[in-house]
Structure 1
């Protein structure tokens, strides 16, 4: 029996056998062959197998996450089964008398080269990553190697990985995935946020656990404490089986909060909004009583697409979200890529920068690629007539950036006017996630319509600690007094200017940070939809006036995280 301690990212308990998410060795040698027909047959068998598996994956993803998420698998199956592709590869086998592996790689590398050489911002249907995924799948089948297709898992498992990509997480929707553990990541990394949205217990920052665990090892995941137990005793299995039962029983009573607004014990209404990464999550939101969408992350439109999404494609997505929300507030954030979110066809790969989290990311990227930015702005303005839209801009660092953003928006409005295209004038706001903005909050308050504090990034910039790096995860603490003082300054400025302000991020659903935030004066919170019930339950136990006194004392006297906790424990027991 082995014990590991990591960073709890998504709550809950799970017991199942390990399933190692590994990528097979796909190296091969080019060989001259004397019987091309045999290699063509091998190619056809590999394509048949690939199409069969891709169709199965598509069915699973449609069932669990909807057709929008499954589209990638449908397009890949269509591509490799097309007569043009089959004929191209077969011709190389026959004409050059080479093995099927060589022919597949040659044809797909040609496609990748064409994509790389496509100039003027024009991109063909298939992005480079999709072509590379197809290449890996066909080579794996030709080499008789197994693919780690999570969607095809037939029995309960704990997925064990070095790291997870958004494409991996799409397949985690398989009901047989009971838990996730990974070497890398923290509780605020994007992999963690997405596993939380799927309600999968997950633990990150486990260093080399993927190398120390074997397939079929029995694993216990404690998503409450961050503990992982490999090959536990029978007694521990029984103990955790009871924990799972009790946990499920505890969660069920929270369902009654779905149809209730959020109030403190003494009747203070707190706005609860949802953070979403995909349009399909709007249907989930309808099952909860929430005040609106506090953050729609548009970057996943780009990450999950096969090429740069067009203006009309974006317009239709934004229109559908706004229409579905029945005029409830919807805050849509413009493209926020860079750091740990890469889009291969946008050429923002972090290998080009020494420190991508401090580099050309978010609004900086948008202002450096104004054609892409203007397209998104036009799509958002056109969609604004279908609901209650606010547009939010990420990682603004200085007022000059804001002036540039406003200039572009005004120019695009004039173009729409000239074309006779209708639009509203949505509220325009910023994310406060860089310390310079918090320091200059009073000046920004004179220039923007609203502010939303993005605590996930703000903490890492305040503490100079990469939030995706588990070795400095202890610094990624929402109870740090320096951070709390910064938050108090911003909320006080916003309230003084009678400006809408919200707090967005994992801090909003931290049971120790939440009472402090309420006492500071935050009246609107935005979080993962699956955290809203816990937050409503905790708010119902808090006395607003008491939280105000507690927060005042913490801001005045706390010098360390321990001080914060000691003061909090004098006021409340949670």
Structure 2
């Protein structure tokens, strides 16, 4: 039966494919694709864990048998027997083998996927006793996952074997019957960690959906960096969609259509082809300079997460990197002690050097680590923050200043990489003069350490993020110390309007066109221009074509966005006359309803 789930559109376009569910677990579970030659190794990991758990249960059963009736009730022996039966059940082991061998899931992912499928079967049973056995199954799987923890193979993303997408001519019961050709996959999850997003970024998904998140949650931002259709804040999508269901993701409308009819498939297939044609038309602008009709040159820069992203930035026509989110180098390293999880100076230096070389002489702006809020460094941090408000806690520069050794390591690596090309150093979430002084002092100290070692390093321009209203209201202090400012509109909107940008329940209140937000942005741009300092917008507003004309009218000449948005924004720039836009932008700022004024 066809039904629709509504959420928030965060990455445009249409995706059609089979659902792949990422199921939540009480312990942290890695999700990645293995290589075909690793199938037997992963199956053997499950087999080894199953044998070990079977031995554990057998020993417990033997101990129970030796106890008297007062020490161990007979129900305990029966429960252990049920666990043994579930452990050996072919529905569990056979399903796990299927997901490993057919979809190339790693063993843990295959286990949680099959658990979800069997658990739903238990939920549909009429007998209450049998329904309750779902909890026993969950306990058995948790035992297996604990056994496998620490024995995972090295992450090795690899495309799973797939079959082709459905079309209007297919039998909707089995659109792939008998053809064996490739089909796209779409990812469905309650939520995704930034580390998971990075892993999936290297794989084969045509789109994704999450139950939680807002338009500028980090999950949504990385979705746009994958340049695939995505919907977040879809509430119960992961509960309603089943493994291998056919799904359409409408990233323009924020709608997820499950089990679509042939007519609906045909309609969305047409929309998908139209989107491809539009992207083709935009691609012709790649090598055209971004100059307005009245001759104003506009700088279109790229936001990246990893050094490898520079390939896409150059291909999209970016004239530099306006934001390298360095925290992604620190994520997904949940093994060993905290010290071994953090990349050392040499590893960071090599990553920044690759980014500089990848941009082929164009400037690269590296933001120092910005963890916290919707970007916890690891699962431990995430659990610790569960009942706090991490957006107002120890994050970004606060986190760095609280750990000077870690911060100095990063600063030394960035300074060394600057010997290979133009690097701008960007500091996030500054709000206090004392933080500015501490930061500048540590940068000087990092230089002194490199001097003492006789290490080669380069000069960097220093910049600060304006993402807290307090910073936007005290620009005079910032412009005394920094060469340029970069407006992080995602957090600026969040803090100005007191809205958690990752919380779908208040997402409707997240408003980039709010008069207070626009006033802070406009004043920051104007003050930088008055003092001859560089200013850019690197938040999601920069890549939103609905705001391109307004930002140009406010005097902005440097936009930094995901590479997938550059050509669309360039098209708006090429059509704009900034002389005419200035008066219009002033009217928008003075309006009680800027969104309506922009649309009018």
So what's the TM-score if we normalise by structure 2? 0.74
In the alignment, the residues of structure 2 paired with residue 507 and residue 217 of structure 1 have an alpha-carbon distance, to the nearest angstrom, of 34
For 2:594, the equivalent position in structure 1 comes to 564
1:179–1:139 distance in 2 versus 1, CA, 3 Å: closer
Q: Per the alignment, in what secondary structure is the counterpart of residue 307 of structure 2?
A: coil
Q: CA deviation at 1:335?
A: 0.7
Check whether the contact 1:275–1:293 (CA below 8 A) recurs between aligned residues: yes
For 2:462, the equivalent position in structure 1 comes to 428
In the alignment, the residues of structure 1 paired with residue 540 and residue 568 of structure 2 have an alpha-carbon distance, to the nearest angstrom, of 13
For 1:248, the equivalent position in structure 2 comes to 276
In the alignment, the residues of structure 2 paired with residue 167 and residue 298 of structure 1 have an alpha-carbon distance, to the nearest angstrom, of 13
For 2:98, the equivalent position in structure 1 comes to none
Q: Per the alignment, in what secondary structure is the counterpart of residue 303 of structure 2?
A: strand
In the alignment, the residues of structure 2 paired with residue 140 and residue 161 of structure 1 have an alpha-carbon distance, to the nearest angstrom, of 11
Summarize deviations over 1:514-541 as a string: whole Å, max 9, x none: 1111100111000001110111112222
CA RMSD of aligned residues (A): 3.5
1:55 pairs, out of 12, 23, 35, with 35
1:228 pairs, out of 256, 265, 271, with 256
In the alignment, the residues of structure 1 paired with residue 456 and residue 415 of structure 2 have an alpha-carbon distance, to the nearest angstrom, of 8
In the alignment, the residues of structure 1 paired with residue 350 and residue 534 of structure 2 have an alpha-carbon distance, to the nearest angstrom, of 28
In the alignment, the residues of structure 2 paired with residue 448 and residue 206 of structure 1 have an alpha-carbon distance, to the nearest angstrom, of 41
In the alignment, the residues of structure 2 paired with residue 345 and residue 23 of structure 1 have an alpha-carbon distance, to the nearest angstrom, of 13
How do 1:298-377 residues align onto structure 2 when only pairs under 5 Å count?
298-305=326-333, 307-344=341-378, 347=381, 350-351=384-385, 354-377=388-411
Q: CA deviation at 1:150?
A: 9.2
Summarize deviations over 1:469-528 as a string: whole Å, max 9, x none: 111112222111110011111111111110011000110121221111110011100000
In the alignment, the residues of structure 1 paired with residue 599 and residue 518 of structure 2 have an alpha-carbon distance, to the nearest angstrom, of 17
Q: Does 1:194 align with 2:228?
A: no
Q: CA deviation at 1:453?
A: 0.3
Mean CA deviation greater in 161-170 or 292-301: 161-170
Summarize deviations over 1:104-146 as a string: whole Å, max 9, x none: xxxxxxxxxxxxxxxxxxxxxxxxxxxxx98787899996999
1:324–1:177 distance in 2 versus 1, CA, 3 Å: closer
1:176–1:360 distance in 2 versus 1, CA, 3 Å: closer
Summarize deviations over 1:138-185 as a string: whole Å, max 9, x none: 8999969999x9953623233221111234334534765222111111
For 1:403, the equivalent position in structure 2 comes to 437
1:200–1:191 distance in 2 versus 1, CA, 3 Å: same
Q: Does 1:180 align with 2:214?
A: no
1:489 pairs, out of 508, 514, 523, with 523
How do 1:252-263 residues align onto structure 2 when only pairs under 5 Å count?
252-263=280-291
In the alignment, the residues of structure 2 paired with residue 2 and residue 265 of structure 1 have an alpha-carbon distance, to the nearest angstrom, of 47
Summarize deviations over 1:313-353 as a string: whole Å, max 9, x none: 11111122223323311100111000111123885754376
1:387–1:228 distance in 2 versus 1, CA, 3 Å: same
For 1:502, the equivalent position in structure 2 comes to 536
Check whether the contact 2:10–2:215 (CA below 8 A) recurs between aligned residues: yes
Q: CA deviation at 1:397?
A: 1.3
Unaligned runs of 5+ in 1: 28-49, 60-75, 103-132
Q: Does 1:461 align with 2:469?
A: no
Q: Per the alignment, in what secondary structure is the counterpart of residue 293 of structure 2?
A: coil
In the alignment, the residues of structure 2 paired with residue 176 and residue 423 of structure 1 have an alpha-carbon distance, to the nearest angstrom, of 39
In the alignment, the residues of structure 2 paired with residue 161 and residue 135 of structure 1 have an alpha-carbon distance, to the nearest angstrom, of 15
Unaligned runs of 5+ in 2: 62-79, 81-105, 115-139, 149-156, 163-182, 336-340
For 2:175, the equivalent position in structure 1 comes to none
Bigger CA radius of gyration: 2
Q: Per the alignment, in what secondary structure is the counterpart of residue 439 of structure 2?
A: helix
Q: Per the alignment, in what secondary structure is the counterpart of residue 565 of structure 1?
A: helix
Q: Per the alignment, in what secondary structure is the counterpart of residue 502 of structure 2?
A: coil
Q: Per the alignment, in what secondary structure is the counterpart of residue 446 of structure 1?
A: helix
For 1:6, the equivalent position in structure 2 comes to 7
1:174–1:436 distance in 2 versus 1, CA, 3 Å: closer
Q: CA deviation at 1:282?
A: 1.3
In the alignment, the residues of structure 2 paired with residue 267 and residue 260 of structure 1 have an alpha-carbon distance, to the nearest angstrom, of 13
Q: Per the alignment, in what secondary structure is the counterpart of residue 286 of structure 2?
A: helix
Check whether the contact 2:196–2:332 (CA below 8 A) recurs between aligned residues: no
Q: CA deviation at 1:80?
A: 7.4
In the alignment, the residues of structure 2 paired with residue 140 and residue 511 of structure 1 have an alpha-carbon distance, to the nearest angstrom, of 39
Q: Per the alignment, in what secondary structure is the counterpart of residue 262 of structure 1?
A: coil
1:168–1:422 distance in 2 versus 1, CA, 3 Å: closer
Check whether the contact 1:150–1:172 (CA below 8 A) recurs between aligned residues: no
In the alignment, the residues of structure 2 paired with residue 406 and residue 447 of structure 1 have an alpha-carbon distance, to the nearest angstrom, of 9
Check whether the contact 1:151–1:173 (CA below 8 A) recurs between aligned residues: no
Check whether the contact 1:478–1:513 (CA below 8 A) recurs between aligned residues: no
Summarize deviations over 1:430-452 as a string: whole Å, max 9, x none: 11001100000122111111100
Q: Per the alignment, in what secondary structure is the counterpart of residue 298 of structure 2?
A: strand
For 2:415, the equivalent position in structure 1 comes to 381
In the alignment, the residues of structure 2 paired with residue 150 and residue 188 of structure 1 have an alpha-carbon distance, to the nearest angstrom, of 29
1:517 pairs, out of 535, 547, 551, with 551
In the alignment, the residues of structure 1 paired with residue 229 and residue 38 of structure 2 have an alpha-carbon distance, to the nearest angstrom, of 24
In the alignment, the residues of structure 1 paired with residue 38 and residue 470 of structure 2 have an alpha-carbon distance, to the nearest angstrom, of 45
Q: Does 1:152 align with 2:160?
A: yes
For 2:302, the equivalent position in structure 1 comes to 274
Mean CA deviation greater in 318-327 or 295-304: 318-327
Summarize deviations over 1:15-68 as a string: whole Å, max 9, x none: 2233322247899xxxxxxxxxxxxxxxxxxxxxx9x97334999xxxxxxxxx
Check whether the contact 1:342–1:349 (CA below 8 A) recurs between aligned residues: no
